[in-house]
Amino acid sequence: MTLTATTPTRPAGTAKPGRRRGIASYWRFYLALSPFYLIFLVFGLYPVASTILLAFQKWDGLGPRKLVGLQNFGFLIEDSTFWLSLWNTVVLFAMSTVPTLVIAMTLAVMLHSAVRFKGVYRIAYFIPNITSLVAAAIFFAAIFSTNFGLINSGLRALGLPTEDWLRQPWGIKIAISTMIVWQWAGYNTIIYLAGLQAIPTEQYEAAKVDGAGPFRTFFQITLPQLRPVVLFTVIMSTIGGLQTFTEPQVMVGNAGGTGQSGMTVVMYFYNQAFFNNDYGYAGAIALSIFLLVLLFTAINWRLLGGRGRR
């Protein structure tokens, strides 16, 4: 910090950076960067620190806070609803992420080779992502509703038995994950498309010369080249998927629907904090979500070989 002009200039090629100037002399750059860090400090770091602190306290939202040590985590371990919500979240994550990414990849490859109306398709696929979540959830609840829903009307027209979607544990999960797929497939398509366009055409030409078919080209050139992009989408989907909240909340209500099968961890945490006024316990749940995201990200990293790819 205090190293200013007195620091001797090192010769180039040594381990440390060649020249060192004091932070003070870079003040313009730091000033230019500061808005992000200030906002992050207030709206990012402070809440994080405060949530961690809260996890060790008991607080009803208004009265005095009381330090309770690890009590909240003790409750967490024996809380069957917490484990159920964790299970629901992971199941929903698997049920939505896999189809989302497969559909997105398919669409991206198709879009990449399409010639006409490319821009129109891109916008069309992206629109679900910017649609209001609540509006979309209400819409999907209507599609899946029992008596007047679109899906059941279709099944009825085909002479098939109808299903009470939003009242059956699995029906709830199918409805929620369908909505997540609908919303995120287009977003990931655009990202894959960008990745596809970055692959040099020479590689494809070389493959063609070598006589590779479309499948072989896809699996030997496209997919390996897209690996960092896939890793990015998987990790973003993990972070998003483990925080699923609005879709089930609007579709099946705060309690999570039949047998709480639509209750995700974030919903449970929201209920504990803002419904039951148990902020400390909610803080503990929030921390557990964080650890879960960390764990899943690490798993993804290993599986998709993010290691060493710098």
Partner 1 sequence: MELSRRTVLAGGFATLLGGTLVGCSSSMDTGSTKKNAGGNLALWCWPGGLGKSVLDDTVAHFPDQNIKYSEVGGDFKQKLLTTFNGGSSIPDITGVKGEDIASLLPQANRFVDLKTIGGDALLGDYLEWKVKQATTLDGKVLGIPIDIGPTALFYREDIFAAAGLPGDPAEVAEQLKTWDDFLAAGVELRKANPKAPIVADATDLYGTVVNQGTSRYIDKDNRFIGDQDHIRKAWDTAVKAITLKVDGRALGGSPDWNAGLDQGTVPTVTGAAWVALDIKAACKTSAGKWRVAATPSGPANFGGSFLTITKNAADPAAALEVIKYMLSADNQAKAFADAQIFPSAPAAYDKPQLKAADPFFGGQAPIEVFGPAAKNIPVAYEAPLDAAIAVHGIKLVQAGKKTSDAAWAEAVAKAKQIGKRQGVQ
SS3 content of the chain, % helix, strand, coil (to 5): 70, 0, 25
Q: Within 176-205, which residues bind partner 1 (CB under 8 A)? A: 195
Hey, what amino acid is at 159? Answer: G
Three-state DSSP state, 58: strand
Q: Does 294 bind partner 1 (CB under 8 A)?
A: yes
Q: Within 8-67, which residues bind partner 1 (CB under 8 A)? A: 40, 43-44, 46-48, 50-51, 54, 59-64
Least spacing, CB of residue 178 vs partner 1, in Å: 16
Distance CA 211, CA 208 (A): 5
Q: Does 80 bind partner 1 (CB under 8 A)?
A: yes
Q: Does 306 bind partner 1 (CB under 8 A)?
A: yes
Query: 109 vs 242, which CB is nearer to partner 1?
Result: 242
Q: Does 297 bind partner 1 (CB under 8 A)?
A: yes
Query: 124 vs 299, which CB is nearer to partner 1?
Result: 299
Q: Does 273 bind partner 1 (CB under 8 A)?
A: yes
Hey, what amino acid is at 103? Answer: I
Hey, what amino acid is at 271? Answer: N
- What residues contact residue 74 under an 8 Å CB cut-off, 6+ apart? none
Distances (CA, A) of 42 to 27, 31, 49, 81, 263: 21, 17, 11, 33, 30
- Do 50 and 281 form a contact (C-beta atoms < 8 A)? no
Give residues in contact with partner 1 (CB under 8 A): 40, 43-44, 46-48, 50-51, 54, 59-64, 75, 78-81, 141-142, 145-149, 164, 166-169, 195, 228-229, 231-232, 235, 239, 243, 253, 255, 257-260, 266, 269, 273-279, 281-283, 286, 289-290, 293-294, 297, 301, 306, 309-310
